[in-house]
Amino acid sequence: MLKVHEGADIATLMNELGARARAAARPLAVATTERKNAALLAMADALEANTPDILEANARDMEAGRAAGLSTALLDRLMLDEKRVAAMAAGIREIARLEDPVGQVIAAWERPNGLFIERVRTPLGVVGVIYESRPNVTADAGALCLKAGNAVILRGGSDSAHSSAAIHACLVEGLVKAGLPEDAIQRVPVTDRAAVGELLKGLDGNLDVIVPRGGRSLVERVQKEARVPVFSHLEGICHLYIDKSARLDMAVSLTVNAKMRRTGICGAAETLLVDRAAADTHLVPVLDALAAAGCEIRGDEGVRVRFPSARPATEEDWRTEYLDAIISVKLVDGVGEAIEHIETWSSHHTEAIVAEDASAVERFFNEIDSAILLHNASTQFADGGEFGMGAEIGIATGKMHARGPVGVEQLTSFKYRVRGTGQVRP
């Protein structure tokens, strides 16, 4: 691995990666679906064939990680075994099966003067992905960007450098086998942090969008400093609202799933809002079930009167993404106050309502401006795979271009094709 520590050299290196990505993006944009899929399948084969090398590289990362005192959670994310490598290969094969978004006609109409106008999907260009030490992101992000006809520059965490390099070599092998430019998927070959700064500056106009995958501090830095568009979410302060019209059994099962299925993902519920009119019927059974599942309850006054073991919730709780087995609970005056609370405190990621009253559901769906709104379903469905997109490179909470799960379709732009028969403009 190349190690460069002088700022100017890093800038030169990174801008060169950008120029090479831009050059690769042109043939990639016109590559056939067959060729892209052939590359993806060859990548999956290469991952399986090179499993021993990948595991050996991963063992070096794990050893260094243990020596550096990485937490158990981080070491688990970093760790690869045969099953995980096979899962990466399977994921890439699934991306090969997805419909190719490039060239899809998304709208078409004819003008009175006979001009026929089509809006057609095109690749975005060059995508930069910055992620922490999860080696599988190398495979997922590389494959997704390729399917959408984009060149990609991958900048993984330094802790997973050897693993990522071994995986990246398999991706390049697939590209070469299919006759696609190997610069279509590049990996930043240095661990220097200045490389991230160069990506954020946009590589001299050769980077079209950045996707940060990682913890809050990484995403915050990218959102603050990036001079190019960013697809990201800072946090997922997701709400579940139980209306007085909710079926009790559904309120219980959805709350427990939304909070406890996995507490560390961005679609996990962090705040439970309960209709005051259901306080005497729904509140205690729901909180009993949460507590039985091992969840800590933090409630407002009305909650604590009815559920005395709850700790008091403060304003700080309404703005906190616990990512843990903790939930804040508040009584609200119907769907109106639920909407007010959510619009005030939400991170605009995902919110759910449990209700049988259709008018409450419509208000919830119309008046809340979050990427994903669910009715009678768990917030944990906030996921590209669950949406049927096959795979996602992340979830975005911004309102520009991509919102919600970012899959192959969201990694495209469009252009207009206009067909005439000699029309001049009067």
From the list 109, 280, 294, 316, which residue makes contact with its own copies (rule: CB under 8 A)?
Answer: 109
Helix intervals (H) in 79-160: 82-97, 135-147
Task: Assign 173 to helix, strand or coil.
Answer: helix
* CA distances in angstroms from 177 to 18, 43, 152, 172, listed in the order given: 23, 9, 18, 9
Which strands form 185-187's sheet, in the order they lie side by side? 185-187, 151-155, 126-131, 209-213
In angstroms, the CA 143 to CA 391 distance is: 10
By CB under 8 A, which span of 49-57, 185-193, 249-257, 296-304 interacts with its own copies? 249-257
Q: Which positions from 199 through 228 interact with its own copies, judged by CB under 8 A?
A: 208-209
Residues 142-161 that bind its own copies (CB under 8 A): none
Q: Cα dist. 221→88, 199, 294, 301 in Å?
A: 29, 12, 34, 37
Contact pattern from residue 252 through residue 281 relative to its own copies, giving x for each residue in contact according to CB under 8 A and a dash for the rest:
-xx-xx---x--------------------
Category of 138 on φ-ψ map: left (φ > 0), alpha (ψ -120 to 50) or beta: alpha
* Identified binder of its own copies from the candidate list 146, 404, 406, 408, rule CB under 8 A: 404
Q: Does 386 bind its own copies (CB under 8 A)?
A: yes
Q: Which stretch binds its own copies (CB under 8 A): 45-53, 103-111, 282-290, 329-337?
A: 103-111
Residues between 163 and 192 with contacts to its own copies, criterion CB under 8 A: none
Distance CA 352, CA 271 (A): 11
**Residue number with CB closer to its own copies (19 or 414):** 414
Size of residue set near its own copies by CB under 8 A? 59
Residue span binding its own copies (CB under 8 A) among the ranges 38-46, 190-198, 232-240, 243-251 = 243-251
Report CA 340 to chain centroid distance, whole Å: 27
Tell me whether strands 269-275 and 238-242 are parallel, antiparallel or unpaired: parallel
122 alpha carbon, distance to own chain's centre: 21
Q: Is 30 in the site for its own copies (CB under 8 A)?
A: yes
Instruction: Report which residue type is found at 250.
Output: M
Residues 289-308 that bind its own copies (CB under 8 A): none
Q: Nearer Cβ to its own copies, position 64 or 414? A: 414
Distance CA 102, CA 37 (A): 13
Q: Which is nearer to its own copies, 147 or 168 (CB)?
A: 147
Using the Cα atoms of residue 168, residue 173, residue 174 and residue 180 in order, give the sign of their dihedral: positive
Tokens of 60: 């070096």
Region 345-384 residues binding its own copies, contact defined as CB under 8 A:
365-367, 369-378, 380-381
Residues 38-67 that bind its own copies (CB under 8 A): none
Residues, the chain:
426
Taking the least distance from each CB to its own copies, the nearer of 82 and 340 is 340
Q: Toward its own copies, which CB reaches closer, 297 or 353?
A: 353
- 294 vs 422, beta carbon nearer its own copies: 422
Q: Which is nearer to its own copies, 33 or 122 (CB)?
A: 122
Note the residues at the interface with its own copies (CB under 8 A): 26, 29-30, 103, 109, 111, 115, 117, 122, 124-125, 208-209, 229, 247, 249-250, 253-254, 256-257, 261, 343, 365-367, 369-378, 380-381, 386-388, 399-401, 403-404, 413-425
